[in-house]
Amino acid sequence: MRTRPRLYVSYSSEMALLPTWTQKIAALAFLAFLVIVPFGVIPGLGFLSDNDWLKLLSRVAIFAIGALGLHILSGLAGQVSLGQAFFVGIGAYTAAVLGGEVGKSTWGLGLPIWIWLPAAGIVAALVGALIAPTAVRVRGIYLAIVTLGLVFFGEWIFRSTPFITGGAQAGREFPSLQFRFWKEEVPFLDFTTDGSWFGISVTSEAKTYLLLLIFVIMAVIITKNIQRTRTGRAFMAIRDRDIAAEVMGVAEAKNKLIAFALSSGFAGLTGAILGAFVGRLVPEGFSLFMSIQFVAILLIGGIGTVSGALLGSAFVILLPRIVQDFTGFLASVAESGSGFFSWFAGIFVSTGIDDPGIVSTLPGTSPGLNIGQFNLFLYGLLLIGFLIFEPLGLYGIWIRVRNYWKSWPFTY
């Protein structure tokens, strides 16, 4: 037994992803928590194993992959991009053409997942690399505009190629999360049907969630590794001082191109998985709103950190659901109870045509915003709030809370 177990004795242990035992144990505990979520055995959080919550968590995982991609491009290399939705679309339709079945008017090769999933990433990365030489010539807000153009261009292309995308408002079927060796009838791993693993019955939603969890962990490890090695340092150098980086031997155009390709590749994977997860997507889905969602994930979570990208994904995807549940709760309080709380809830929620309130739980015309509008409103408010008050996002808040408790009861 070493007398000082916390002393670093080699560079490799000090440069590890989780250098301290506290971090190792915390990461392992969190991972164990995520793994047992779908089995509903966590006291107080059993509702997370409901299928609709598991679907939401899976969506968080899917968006986290794309957000990690944007983190490489914007957070590390400092290139603002609004084009993420375009690359998500490229990945989705690559997967659809390679893995999807032939429809009435759509192409599909019906290839297995181990072809269409990597191909979606690679094709999107190649398209990214193709566009990069043009995009790296401009910086800052101008790059944002160029990539914005890309989204509109992409939407137009997707709408006008019905044999690939199924056409506007119709959409097409995507391949499903089934693992086959080739085109045989019965998949050897099927994430679309309920079944049992090691004697425990798991629903298809739980299976999908666990598969996506593995994907996200892989994406996190890859991103973290890039961040701590040569290429990641080059990205950060370009972000902080591009001319100094060049003088230090960092080839600016080449590294920006790598950042673009990596980011697009991650986005492509997101698209392929999103298609497989949802089953049917319309080309209008890959719009500016999706791009802004990715940017919002980074800004709310905390730009420049992997944890920020993950926190932001969870926040941005789960927020609408939480708002919806909370509004429903307030409505029930306002209707049933009496007293101060009920009066307070009544101000917030509109429960009838002649009941004024900020948010309405009724469908159709009634005073107040509907849930969707209120979510958009909240979304914008949060973005502005974070930009002004906490530029490091949720991650920054976490750091402050952690540092407070680290030194508690002293102030510093």
Partner 1 sequence: MTTRRTTLQFDSATEHGDYDHLLEFSDVSLAFKGIKALDGVGFHVDDGELFAIIGPNGAGKTSIFNCLNGLYKPQEGSIRWKDEDILGTRSDRIADLGIARTFQNIELFAHMTVLENITLGRHVRTKTSWWDGALWIGPAKKEELANRAVVEDIIDFLEIARWRKYPVAMLPYGIQKRVELGRALAMEPELLLLDEPVAGMNLEETEDMARFILDIREELGIAMILVEHDMGLVMDIADRVMVIDFGERIAVGPPEEVQNDPNVIKAYLGEEMDL
Binding site for partner 1 (CB under 8 A): 11-12, 15, 222, 225-226, 228-234, 236-237, 239-241, 243-252, 258, 262, 304
Which residue lies nearer to partner 1 by CB, 8 or 33?
8
d(CA 36, CA 216): 16
Residue whose token pair is 């701590």: 228
> In which element (H, E) is residue 359 found?
strand 359-360
| Cβ at position 77, least distance to partner 1 in Å | 12
| Cβ at position 80, least distance to partner 1 in Å | 16
d(CA 283, CA 38): 31
d(CA 73, CA 80): 7
Which residue lies nearer to partner 1 by CB, 251 or 353?
251
| Cβ at position 398, least distance to partner 1 in Å | 18
| Per-residue 3-state assignment (H helix, E strand, C coil) for 123-182 | HHHHHHHHHHHHHCCCCCHHHHHHHHHHHHHHHHHHHCCHHHHCCCCCCEECCCCEECCC
What the block records as the tokens of 108 is 């599909």
| Cβ at position 216, least distance to partner 1 in Å | 15
Which residue lies nearer to partner 1 by CB, 230 or 280?
230
| Cβ at position 121, least distance to partner 1 in Å | 13
- How many C-beta atoms surround the C-beta of residue 39 within 10 A? 14
| Cβ at position 167, least distance to partner 1 in Å | 38
d(CA 157, CA 90): 10
| Cβ at position 3, least distance to partner 1 in Å | 22
Which residue lies nearer to partner 1 by CB, 192 or 307?
307
User: Could you tell me if 216 and 61 are in contact, meaning their C-beta atoms sit under 8 angstroms apart?
Assistant: yes
Which residue lies nearer to partner 1 by CB, 171 or 393?
393
Q: Taking each helix axis from N to C terminus, what angle separates 141-159 and 288-301, rounded to the nearest 10 degrees?
A: 140
| Cβ at position 377, least distance to partner 1 in Å | 33
Provide the β-strand partners of residue 308.
none
d(CA 186, CA 167): 30
Which residue lies nearer to partner 1 by CB, 246 or 335?
246
| Cβ at position 270, least distance to partner 1 in Å | 17
Which residue lies nearer to partner 1 by CB, 164 or 237?
237
Which residue lies nearer to partner 1 by CB, 95 or 262?
262
d(CA 402, CA 317): 25
* 3-state SS assignment for residue 195: strand
Provide the β-strand partners of residue 369.
359
Which residue lies nearer to partner 1 by CB, 239 or 321?
239
Residue whose token pair is 């298609």: 275
* 3-state SS assignment for residue 200: strand
